[in-house]
Amino acid sequence: MIRVPLVLRLAGLVLASTAFYTYVGQMVPQKEVYPPQEVVLKADMTTADMVRVGGELMEGKGLCFTCHTVGKKGPLRFPDLEGVGARAGARIPGLSDVEYFAQSMYEPDVYIVDEALSVGDVFFQQKCFERFRELRRQGCTIRTDGQGTVYVFFLAGHKGQVAQMMARSFDGGVTFERPRPVATPIFQVGAFDAFQSYEFFDGVRGARTNSFPSVDIANGAPTGLGATDQIVLTWPDAQCETAPAPPPPFTPCLNSEAALVQYSLDRGEGWSSPLNMAAPGDRPDFPAIAISPNGSDVYLVYDGFLDPWRTDMFGSRRMQGVIRHADVAADGSLVNLKTLHRGAVGDARASGISNPALRFGFLGDYNYAVATNAFGSAVWVDTRDAALCPAINAWRQSLLENPPDSPPPAPAPGTDCPRTFGNTDIFGGTFPDPTP
C-alpha cells in the first residue's frame, strides 16, 4: 500500500477546492458595467418605444439579468418571468396587467404570490414569513351587508401615509376587488418605544396600542330585512394636525386623541367626514363600534384614559370603560351623542403580569360591541380590581435610567406586590336604546 505524504494530500485538497470554487465562480453572471446613459421618457412615446426603452434598462442600467430569467435569457435562476404580463392580467379580476404591475410597485405589500417563497435562501423565506405575520397584525375586520357583499377593512400604508383600507367581494369571498383607502391620513395613537417595537398609549413602559379599525354594518341581521346597509367605521386617532407638542423626544401627537367615526350610505363608495364620538376630556383607546340591524342606533365602547401621556412611572394613569350612543338621522348622520355608562376607575400601571419579565404594562385590545334594534352590548378591559405595585413601578422607572443591557433585577410579584397586582378584567354590560 502506497502512503501519500500528508503534504501532498493537503496540496491536492487545496487544488481541488480552488478548481471547484473557480468553476462555481465562473457560473455567476459577469457584467461589464459602463456609466449609464441618460434615458429620456417622453409623453408622446409609443408602446413600441416604451418596450424598447424598458428592454434597454433591463439589460443595461438596471442589471436585471444579473439575477432574473426571461425564457432562456439570463442566468436561468429564480422564477421565469416569461409570460409575466399574461399572468399579471389574470391575477385580480378587473385589473389590467399594467394596473396590476403599477400597484405592485407603488404598494408592494398588496399582492404577495406563491413565487415569493420559491426564491432565495432560508433567510429570505424567513423574512417573508415575518412580513406575513406583520400583515396579520394589521387588525383586519370582516363584515357583510344585507346583500351578501363581504367587506374587509385593515390599517396599512398607502402612498407615504397610513390609511384605513377597504376591499370588497361580491361573490361570497371568492375574489376581492383592489383595496383602496377610505380614511387617510391616519395619525396613529401612542408613542413608539423602539425597545419593544410598539406604541404605548398611557406612557413610558405602558400598554401597547394601535389605530386598528372597528366596523359594523346595518345589515338587517339575522334575516336581512329592513337593512339600510349603512357602514360605520371607527379608529383611535392622534389628530396630529391639532395636537399640542409635548417635550421632546416624545411624539408630537399626544393627549388630543379622538375616537373618529365615519359612515357610508352607498356600500363604501363614498364616506362622511370623521366625527369624534368620544366624550370631551377622554383620551379614547381601542374604540369598538356597533350599529343596530335597522340602522337607527350606534353604540361605541372604548377605554377612556383620564390622565395625559406620562414620561415616568410616578404619575397616575387612570382609565375606565366608556359606552356612548348616537341616534342615526334620516340622512345617515350621527346625532344626539350621549354617554350611557362610565365604569369604575382603575390605573393602567397595575397591569403587566402576563408581560415577559414585567417590563411593560399589558391591557390588550379586547373591547367589542354588538347591537340589536332594542339595545347595545359591549365589553371592555377594566383595571378597577388591579392593585398598583410600588416595587414594579420603581423597577420600571429604573429601566428608563439604566442601559438596556444591564437592567436591575426584577421584583418577584408573588412576594413583592399586592395580591391583586395584574388583576385586569373584561367587564361588560347591556344598555337599552335611550331613544326608542
Q: What is the C-alpha to C-alpha distance for residues 357 and 74, in angstroms, rounded to an integer?
A: 52
Total Cβ atoms within 10 A of residue 420: 14
Residues 77 and 215 in one domain: no
Look at residue 126 and tell me if it is in a domain: yes
- Which of 12-21, 176-185, 195-204, 391-400 is modeled with the greatest confidence? 176-185
Residue 424: the pLDDT is 93
Residue 388: the pLDDT is 95
Residue 249: the pLDDT is 40
Confidence of residue 267 (pLDDT cuts 50, 70, 90): very high
Q: Average per-residue pLDDT in the chain?
A: 82
At 46-80, the pLDDT tens digits run: 878 877 877 777 766 656 666 667 766 555 555 56
Write out the residue range of the structural domain in which residue 250 sits. Answer: 138-432
105 pLDDT above the threshold of 70: no
Residues 158 and 91 in one domain: no
Look at residue 362 and tell me if it is in a domain: yes
Q: Pick 187 or 139 by higher pLDDT.
A: 187
Q: Pick 170 or 193 by higher pLDDT.
A: 170
Q: What is the C-alpha to C-alpha distance for residues 130 and 174, in angstroms, rounded to an integer?
A: 26
User: Which region among 29-38, 244-253, 338-347, 354-363 has the lowest average model confidence (pLDDT)?
Assistant: 244-253
Task: Enter the C-alpha cell of residue 358.
Answer: 414585567
Residues 180 and 295 in one domain: yes
Tally of domains within the chain? 2
User: What mean pLDDT is predicted for residues 346-358?
Assistant: 78
Task: Enter the C-alpha cell of residue 60.
Answer: 443595461
| All residues at 6 or more sequence positions from 306 whose CB lies less than 8 Å from its CB, including other chains | 281, 282, 283, 318, 319, 320, 345
Residues 157 and 256 in one domain: yes
User: What mean pLDDT is predicted for residues 268-292?
Assistant: 97
User: What mean pLDDT is predicted for residues 266-291?
Assistant: 97
User: Which region among 99-103, 143-147, 224-228, 389-393 has the lowest average model confidence (pLDDT)?
Assistant: 99-103
Residue 113: the pLDDT is 52
Look at residue 45 and tell me if it is in a domain: no
Q: Pick 348 or 18 by higher pLDDT.
A: 348
Residues 289 and 425 in one domain: yes
Question: In the listed set 85, 112, 136, which residue is the last one of a domain according to the structure?
Answer: 136
User: Which region among 208-222, 229-243, 360-374 has the lowest average model confidence (pLDDT)?
Assistant: 229-243
Residue 139: the pLDDT is 72
User: What mean pLDDT is predicted for residues 211-219?
Assistant: 95
Q: What is the C-alpha to C-alpha distance for residues 381 and 4, in angstroms, rounded to an integer?
A: 77
Look at residue 16 and tell me if it is in a domain: no
41 pLDDT above the threshold of 90: no
Residues 406 and 320 in one domain: yes
Question: In the listed set 76, 111, 136, which residue is the last one of a domain according to the structure?
Answer: 136
Q: What is the C-alpha to C-alpha distance for residues 301 and 161, in angstroms, rounded to an integer?
A: 27
93 pLDDT above the threshold of 80: no
397 pLDDT above the threshold of 70: yes
CATH code of 223's domain: 2.120.10
Look at residue 161 and tell me if it is in a domain: yes
Residues 399 and 416 in one domain: yes
Residue 127: the pLDDT is 60
Residues 129 and 144 in one domain: no
Look at residue 53 and tell me if it is in a domain: no
Residues 147 and 270 in one domain: yes
Q: What is the C-alpha to C-alpha distance for residues 306 and 344, in angstroms, rounded to an integer?
A: 12
Look at residue 51 and tell me if it is in a domain: no
CB 77 within 8 A of CB 64: no
Confidence of residue 332 (pLDDT cuts 50, 70, 90): very high
Residues 118 and 243 in one domain: no
| Residue 347 backbone dihedrals phi, psi, to 5 degrees | -125, 125
Question: In the listed set 136, 157, 184, which residue is the last one of a domain according to the structure?
Answer: 136
Strands 318-328 and 214-217: unpaired
Q: What is the C-alpha to C-alpha distance for residues 364 and 161, in angstroms, rounded to an integer?
A: 25
Look at residue 13 and tell me if it is in a domain: no
Residues 127 and 158 in one domain: no
Confidence of residue 110 (pLDDT cuts 50, 70, 90): low
Residues 271 and 193 in one domain: yes
User: What mean pLDDT is predicted for residues 153-158?
Assistant: 88
